[in-house]
Amino acid sequence: MNIASFLSPKVDVTYLHDTMTIRQGLEKLRRSGYTAVPVVDSEDRYVGTISEGDFLWNILNHNASLDEITMKALEHTSIREILQSGKVTAVCIDTNMEQLLGQVQMQNFVPVVDDRNIFIGIITRGEIIKYFVKKQLESANRQL
């Protein structure tokens, strides 16, 4: 089964650019309501996924006194500097649903790239679960 039919395209997905500041990233993350989002570079290549925990740990690690943290102070570091690449790997558009199953056990979505590593969208855990539930029901109906 081709995963393209389950894809939420990039235009409909919240994502960040690696050149954004921590402040810009936090603001966009807060507006989106998500706890993790994909990150792309200036050429729209997928470079990783960043979570609210990544932001939090960076702020705590670089600010000895929490009393001194201001939004202005968060304008001096880019997302690229705090991104932990490799934590969430992307899949190619020709990946099958069975291969995706293992990845969504640990994350809410799987980033999808084309053959040039250009970010094209995500497939959510919910879409993958729906696919396998439907497949299981169809299999059970055939056995009846």
Of 43, 38, 32, the residue nearest 10 (C-alpha) = 38
Q: Where are the alpha helices (DSSP H) in 1-144?
A: 22-32, 52-61, 79-82, 97-103, 125-143
Q: What is the mean pLDDT of the chain?
A: 88
CATH class, 3-143 region: alpha beta
Segments making up each domain of the chain, as ranges:
3-143
1, pLDDT greater than 80: no
Residue 34 confidence class, pLDDT cut points 50, 70, 90: very high
Token output for 103: 């990845």
Compare 59 and 39 and report the one with higher pLDDT. Answer: 39
Residue 124: beta bridge partners?
Answer: 109
Length of the chain: 144
Residue 110 confidence class, pLDDT cut points 50, 70, 90: very high
